[in-house]
Chains A and B, each alone.
Chain A
């Protein structure tokens, strides 16, 4: 595996379910990110981790819970989501906090 991988690629969940999104980067980067991409809106930064420490939480509702066990893995735990949370969730990594980022293919989430 190379680059940034994300699983699952597609997820349909009910509002009462609990699920997790997984991201893994094979680039040796120190920073990892979660983004939300909705139709007709700019990419929204959700969380930033630098050297496994969370450095940014962009006013994200508590129904989204990130976890970064090491510099290569990032999770996004989901529970009691709302239909408006349906979107493409993208993971990214970068060598340092500033500059260009490398994105995974995303998880298309549908909340029913």
Chain B
């Protein structure tokens, strides 16, 4: 079993819809959970960063962590065409940092 699993997509949704992106992981020692957005030919951009189980909201973005199920989610409300990108989940403990493969998201105008 891979340490981090993320569906590569592509995921296509109409503009204005709520987007749900997810990752599962196997190592219960992970403590920090991140979501990054990466546009084509750019470096990843940190969107959300959480430490504990629960929800964290920032504008249209909500990150959710369920440590008991080893499952993290990123929700995007009122999706815009500019949200079209690849979304990477990541998690770490000490210097061990693991990224998911990324989900390609297309928001259709």
Q: Which residues of A contact B (CB under 8 A)?
A: 4, 33, 40-43, 45, 48, 50, 55-56, 90, 92, 97-106, 108
Find the A residue at minimum CB distance from B3: A42
Within the complex, the shortest CB–CB distance from B91 to chain A, in Å, comes to 10
Number of residues in B with C-beta < 8 Å to the partner? 26
Interface residue B52 (Cβ < 8 Å from any Cβ of A): no
A40–B41 alpha-carbon span in the complex (Å) = 14
A97–B98 alpha-carbon span in the complex (Å) = 13
8 Å CB contact of B101 from A40, A50, A104, A105: A40
Within the complex, the shortest CB–CB distance from A92 to chain B, in Å, comes to 8
Using known A-B contacts A45-B97, A97-B94, determine if residue A106 contacts B88 with beta carbons closer than 8 Å.
Answer: no
8 Å CB contact of A106 from B43, B97, B100, B102: B43
B94 and A43: CB pair below 8 A? no
Contacts of A108 in B (CB 8 A): 41
Find the B residue at minimum CB distance from A35: B99
8 Å CB contact of A98 from B41, B88, B94, B99: B94
Contacts of B97 in A (CB 8 A): 33, 45, 101
Interface residue B45 (Cβ < 8 Å from any Cβ of A): yes
A90–B94 alpha-carbon span in the complex (Å) = 20
A97 and B46: CB pair below 8 A? no
8 Å CB contact of B100 from A4, A42, A100: A42
A90 and B46: CB pair below 8 A? no
In the A-B complex, the 3 residue pairs with the smallest Cβ-Cβ separation, listed nearest first, are A103-B43, A100-B49, A43-B99
Contacts of A55 in B (CB 8 A): 95
Interface residue B4 (Cβ < 8 Å from any Cβ of A): yes
